[in-house]
Amino acid sequence: MTLTIATWNINSVRLRLDQVTRLLREQAPDVLCLQEIKCMEAHFPGAAFADLGYRHIAIAGQKGYHGVATLSRHPFSSVERGPFCRNGDARHIAVGFASGGLAGITLHNFYVPAGGDEPDPEQNEKFAHKLDFLGELRDWSAALIASGNRSSIMAGDLNIAPLETDVWSHKQLLRVVSHTPIEVDGLNRVQAAGHWTDAVRRIIAPEEKLYSWWSYRAADWAAADRGRRLDHIWTGPDLAGRIKDAAVVREARGWERPSDHAPVILRLSAP
pTM: predicted TM-score of the whole model, two decimal places: 0.97
Coil, strand or helix at 268:
strand
Strands (E), 87-200: 92-96, 106-111, 152-157, 197-198
Q: Quote the CA–CA distance of 26 and 4 in Å, as a whole number.
A: 12
- pLDDT-derived band at 84 (thresholds 50, 70, 90) equals confident
What rounded mean pLDDT belongs to the chain? 96
CA distance 140 to 29: 27
Structural domains in the chain, sorted by start: 2-269 (3.60.10.10)
What are the pLDDT digits (tens) for 192-247?
999 999 999 999 999 999 999 999 999 899 999 999 999 999 999 999 999 999 99
Distance CA 156, CA 170 (A): 22
- The pLDDT value given to residue 1: 83
Half-sphere exposure (Cβ direction) of 254: Cα atoms closer than 13 Å = 9
Q: Are 270 and 239 in contact (CB under 8 A)?
A: no
DSSP 45: -
* pLDDT one-digit tens code per residue, 89-143: 899 999 999 988 899 999 999 999 999 999 999 999 999 999 999 999 999 999 9
Give the model's pLDDT for residue 64: 82
Contacting residues for 150 by C-beta, under 8 A, at least 6 apart: 195, 236, 237, 238
Nearest-CA neighbor of 157 among 265, 230, 228? 230
Q: How open is the CA angle 246-144-60, to the nearest 5 degrees?
A: 70
